[in-house]
Amino acid sequence: MITAGGDPIYLDYNATTPVDPRVADAMLPYLTGCYGNPSSSHRLGRQARQALDHARSQVASCLGCDPDEVVLTSGGSEANNAAIRGVVAARGGGHVICSAVEHPAVLEVVLALECEGRIELSIVGVDQWGRVDPDEVVGSLRPDTVLVTIMLANNEVGTVQPVAELAARCRERGVLLHTDAAQAVGKIPVAVGRLGIDLLSVAGHKLYAPKGVGALYVRRGVAVEPLIRGAGHERGRRAGTESLLMAVGLGAACAIVRAELADETERLTGLRDRLESRLRAGVPGLAVHGHPTERLPNTLSVALPGAHAHRLLERLGDRVAASPGSACHADKVQVSHVLSAMGVEPALALSTIRLSVGRFTTGGEVDGAAELILAEVAGTRAGAGFQR
């Protein structure tokens, strides 16, 4: 089954989202006009500054913070680097805690800082659902702990972490908490005040803005050394002439999220559960990874016993777009570090695919994708001589 436009059924929204046409419309005037530098004092510069300030306010309204607490970045990876490296540099090093299921944009940063001798690192494990135990995190705190970084929602299995509880308990001990919210913003309510966090990262291309733009929330009063130095852009926190075009796109995307989140969350949950129900009915022994209730409304990570995820998705590639639960490097398949941390057996992990629905997914697409997946799985199991 191919969609009307000739593309496969897209069930990979956690990897990236298409640009919402409303976002593209908001950006278009800034692609062909309004070319002034926001730092210039003449009329063109003032026009650009006004548009930039409006976009920043839209991002701030989505997150529930003040505009001056928003740093515009080139994406979620830069935001994570800026938060973690910025705090460590401002504090002069120290002890950092993260979870075993963080995105590489966090894990690789803290591991590099450890190799550089800038920090001592503690990595806390997760339970079978992929959730950290707040008591274990707090028990790992030391007098020299300068930062705890725990993602808000996992990109692979969708598990939502108890970040608000962690933030409250860290604050009691004077420790900063950063959360990578790249997968959460646009799918669940994300209000920095309710979470009580100190720093939060946003990736534009996960919420229907273009690739190449993101944001970092920095709570007022938190000291962060700039990752990129130069002129005093972004209140001295991130040098470089701002990309007005990309900022407008992020702002428009955040405004849409703020207006439509409640209805969209309900719709996505229905589509995800519908997909799970159809797959479960057709695959004996199907296993769902992630927390049963504290999970993103759009994310379904399933193990299909008897199927090899990479081969399955290769066969489905022109009809269904999704992601495997393991990575393939140089002809070798490596089990996902997230599934490994959750204690998933390697054979089950290698049969895992991640299906993520989104704003433009329809019920017909969910049904069609389920039918295609089930047909491929049935063929694989029959060829392997599986017995029901």
DSSP 8-state symbol, 149 = E
The long-range contacts involving 27-35, CB below 8 angstroms and separated by at least 24 positions, are 27/210, 27/245, 27/248, 27/249, 27/252, 30/244, 30/245, 30/248, 31/245, 34/244
d(CA 72, CA 69): 10
Residue with tokens 């593309």: 7
DSSP 175: -
Residue 328 annotated as catalytic? yes
Distance from C-alpha of 282 to C-alpha of 77, rounded to nearest angstrom: 38
Nearest to 257 by CA among 204, 199, 336: 204
CA distance linking residue 238 with residue 241, whole number of Å: 9
| Contact between residue 240 and residue 213 where contact means Cβ atoms under 8 Å apart | no
- Go through the chain and tell me how many residues it has: 388
Quickly list DSSP for 316-375: HTTTEE-EESEEEETTEEEE-HHHHHTT--HHHHHTEEEEE--TT--HHHHHHHHHHHHH
Q: Buried (b) or exposed (e) across 144-153, using 16+ Cβ within 10 A?
A: ebbbbbbbbb
Please, what's the b/e burial string for 80-94 (b: 16 or more CB within 10 A of its CB; e: otherwise)?
bbbbbbbbbbebeeb
DSSP lists the bridge partners of residue 356 as: 12, 299
**Residues belonging to the active site:** 328
